[in-house]
Structure 1
Amino acid sequence: MRIGILQTGRAPDALIETSGDYDQMFRTLLDGHGFEFETYAVLDGVFPENADTADGWLITGSRFGVYEDHNWIPPLEQLIRDIHAKGLPMVGICFGHQIIAQALGGRVEKYDGGWAVGRVEYQQDGRTIAMNAWHQDQVTKLPDGARVLGGNEFCANGILAYGDNIWTVQPHPEFKSDFVGGLIEKRGRGVVPDPILDAARNALEQPIDTDEIASFMASFLKKERA
């Protein structure tokens, strides 16, 4: 199965050598599930020919806001609508979670409750799952047809689904704890309040459900659809 990775951001230069860029993190996360990957750096204006160029799609995270004025955001929103209309599988992570919501009629804003950084726990299907987060923006208004699958007190719309073909999540299943530790020092200091960063650093050794989420994402992308 061919998965098109729509890359909307980049990891800090100082961390790429050890962790890889954002697209590589997803290749690593989903390794062993039989996928072939092609990256499209949409933040540089590099887009696939159309929605049928891949069998399934994945939209990465980004340091940009989906509501910002970048010339690549409108065509990305149109591509999202085309993918959805064709019923092709698509997964969105953080910025990807937000841009899909915005493209389909929802609203994304800076959350007045502040930042989520590091390990977070969400409730989904009656159980707790843990992932690493790095965000201030949130989906504050759901598009028509969106279903809330999970969230927490801080981020109510944390995991969303649209029909049978789109699954999105606000935190980062692809972020390993050492990468979050690097982000704290390379991007966090001076931007995110120190107490939030310090609490996140203190929780870096706690377990996260990386393998479980990777298996779920792979099954979601590959499952048969009518």
Structure 2
Amino acid sequence: MKIGILVTGHPPDELREQFGAYDAMFRTLLDGNGFEFDSFAVVDNQFPDSADQADGWIITGSRHGAYEDHTWIPPLEDLIREIWTNGQPLIGVCFGHQIIAQALGGKVEKFSGGWAIGRTDYDYDGQTATLNAWHQDQVVELPEGAKVTGSNAFCRNAMVAYGDTIWTVQAHPEYGDGFIKGLMETRGKGVVPDALMQAAANRLPAKDDNPKIAQLMAEFLKKERA
């Protein structure tokens, strides 16, 4: 099964050599599932010819806002709608979660409640899922027919399903402790409140559920659909 990764951002240069680009993180996260991957740097206006170039799709995170004026945002939204119309599986993470909601009629904005960073607990399917977060933007209005599958008090639309072909998550199952620490150093200082970063740093040694969510993502992509 070929999975197309739509890369919507680049990690800080200081972190890329150690941790790789965002598409590499997803290749590692989903390793062992028999997937073939192809990456498209849509943030640099490198798009597939059509949604048919892959069997399923993943949209990565980004430092950009879904509501910002970038030349690559409208064609990405068009591609999302094409994937949705085709009934192909699509997973969105962080920015991917947000741009999918926006493309299908929802609303994304800079959340007045501030940032979520580091280890964060979500109520998912009656259980607690712990993942690394790094965001201020949130999906504040869902498209018609979208269903919330995971949330917490800070982010009520943290995981969302659209029928049985699209699933999105606000947090980052592809981020490990080291990358979060690196983001604090390179993108957090002077932007994220110091007290919030300290609290996140104190929680980093805690267990995360990246493997569980990775399995869920793989099963979702490979799921038989009518």
TM-score relative to the length of structure 2: 0.99
1:105 corresponding residue in structure 2: 105
- Unaligned regions of 5+ residues in structure 2, if any? none
- Unaligned regions of 5+ residues in structure 1, if any? none
Instruction: Report whether the alignment pairs 1:64 with 2:69.
Output: no
Aligned with 1:64: secondary structure? coil
Contact preservation (8 Å) 1:90, 1:165: yes
Q: Measure, in 2, the Cα distance between the counterparts of 1:107 and 1:223.
A: 28
Instruction: Please report how far the alpha carbon of residue 81 of structure 1 lies from its aligned counterpart in structure 2 after TM superposition.
Output: 0.2
2:211 corresponding residue in structure 1: 211
Instruction: Please report how far the alpha carbon of residue 124 of structure 1 lies from its aligned counterpart in structure 2 after TM superposition.
Output: 1.0
RMSD of aligned Cα (Å): 0.5
Aligned with 1:70: secondary structure? coil
Per-residue CA deviation, residues 40-87 of structure 1 (Å, 9 max, x unaligned), is 000110000101110000000000000000000000000000000000
Instruction: Report whether the alignment pairs 1:146 with 2:143.
Output: no
Q: Measure, in 1, the Cα distance between the counterparts of 2:62 and 2:150.
A: 22
Q: Which amino acid aligns with 1:171?
A: A
Q: Measure, in 2, the Cα distance between the counterparts of 1:10 and 1:203.
A: 25
Aligned with 1:81: secondary structure? helix
Per-residue CA deviation, residues 67-125 of structure 1 (Å, 9 max, x unaligned), is 00000000000000000000000000000000000000000001110000000000011
2:183 corresponding residue in structure 1: 183
Aligned with 2:57: secondary structure? strand
Q: Measure, in 2, the Cα distance between the counterparts of 1:158 and 1:110.
A: 15
1:118 corresponding residue in structure 2: 118
Per-residue CA deviation, residues 169-198 of structure 1 (Å, 9 max, x unaligned), is 000000001110010011100111111111
Q: Measure, in 1, the Cα distance between the counterparts of 2:56 and 2:145.
A: 20
Contact preservation (8 Å) 1:178, 1:204: no
Instruction: Please report how far the alpha carbon of residue 18 of structure 1 lies from its aligned counterpart in structure 2 after TM superposition.
Output: 1.1
Q: Which amino acid aligns with 2:169?
A: V
Q: Measure, in 1, the Cα distance between the counterparts of 2:150 and 2:44.
A: 32
Q: Which amino acid aligns with 2:146?
A: A
Q: Measure, in 1, the Cα distance between the counterparts of 2:129 and 2:148.
A: 15
Instruction: Report whether the alignment pairs 1:51 with 2:51.
Output: yes
Aligned with 1:143: secondary structure? coil
Q: Which amino acid aligns with 1:6?
A: L
Instruction: Please report how far the alpha carbon of residue 164 of structure 1 lies from its aligned counterpart in structure 2 after TM superposition.
Output: 0.6
Q: Measure, in 2, the Cα distance between the counterparts of 1:14 and 1:126.
A: 39
> For this pair of structures, how many residues does the alignment match?
226
Aligned with 2:70: secondary structure? coil
Instruction: Please report how far the alpha carbon of residue 159 of structure 1 lies from its aligned counterpart in structure 2 after TM superposition.
Output: 0.2
Aligned with 2:105: secondary structure? coil
Per-residue CA deviation, residues 131-186 of structure 1 (Å, 9 max, x unaligned), is 00000000000001100001000000000000110000000000001110010011
Aligned-residue identity in percent: 63
Aligned with 2:130: secondary structure? strand
